[in-house]
Structure 1
């Protein structure tokens, strides 16, 4: 099983990073939308934000590693038949997803540290508040956090629809190569 990408296929590391991040992002957005509706008397009032912040903090090094990995690995070439506009839209969508995810994570940190308190990572240790006390920090960061997360949902839907279009209508390998790594015996690049 190929760990690294080639010009023809994604390797296992890229595929695992893609799906782990996708699951974490959707879980965080669902949890975030649910937890803001909780009232003080809900048993989840304290626990939901604790889990949301902890998983969000774990996503930071995963995102940074994914960006590093993406820069170190070749990007598989688009299958024959992809129009130029499709390749450009895919590149733009991927770039915006990374940017919005970074903004969402940073703004979440800014919300949580606005009063100068650190953030507990699963109770293991505190991530310190490096920036706090700015005018309207929590409110401005909260607005950015919400809208960047909602934008991620929209772009992820576009991303998924594109993959399904390629799989069902075009009958190419776009979706399949993100589901299983290449298993050929040729040399990794």
Structure 2
């Protein structure tokens, strides 16, 4: 742990609650899976396997949308613990900006994908059971535009995820200021100096 005033260790940082941790790690796993699956299936030739992967990707995207909504609702009722005073102003600003952009993309990327599927004439039937309404009418030109917007959004989200992970590693390895451990269950953290 980093030394504080007069060589004393910094006090442990307040942690996120169990609900926030659950939503964070669940959403992180689903987003990484959706990104990997999306890039993998996009390069495949048309086949029944590709159609199946597209359906899984869509179902995963709709689940991301649902979990993101639940996470946002949870967050509104359970504010994040304060950032440590040792963080520079630019770090705080970048943290708030990147988190805000990630929340925006948690919703925008799946919604654009849903609209793209609608415009291409492929209704999403969630988990093969629940038909979701089309967001837009069938329109080939709009489908192509939305496909590009979905891909750009996915790349932006991937870049933010990489930035988020890099910041977490910096705080864990270089700064050793307890910021990273705030999102880890106590099982994985050692509070003893």
TM-score for the superposition, normalised by structure 1: 0.86
Return the offset for 1:117: 4.1
Tell me which moved more, 90-99 or 118-127.
Answer: 118-127
The corresponding residue for 2:95 is 90
Aligned pair count? 175
Deviates more, 1:126-135 or 1:71-80: 126-135
In structure 1, the gaps of 5 or more residues are: 1-6, 183-189
CA-atom RMSD, angstroms?
1.8
Provide, for residues 44-86 of structure 1, a one-character-per-residue CA deviation record: whole Å limited to 9, x for no partner: 1211001001111111111111111111112111123111111
Alignment of 1:120-159 (within 5 A): 120-134=125-139, 136-159=141-164
The 1:33–1:117 alpha-carbon spacing in structure 2 relative to 1, beyond 3 Å, is closer
Q: Residue in 2 aligned with 1:186?
A: none
- Per-residue deviation, residues 129-149 of structure 1 (Å, max 9, x unmatched): 132235722111111100111
Q: Is the 8 A contact 1:116 1:131 kept in 2?
A: no
Match for residue 41 of structure 2? Answer: 35
Find out whether 1:22 has 2:28 as its counterpart. Answer: yes
TM-score, normalised with respect to structure 2: 0.85
Query: 2:108 maps to which residue?
Result: 103
- Larger RCO: 1 or 2 (CA < 8 Å, sep 6+): 1
The list of structure 1 runs, each at least 4 consecutive aligned residues, that deviate by more than 6 angstroms after superposition, is none
* Structure 2 portions without partners, runs of 5+: 1-12, 188-193
- Larger Cα Rg: Structure 1 or Structure 2? 2
Which protein has the bigger helix share?
2
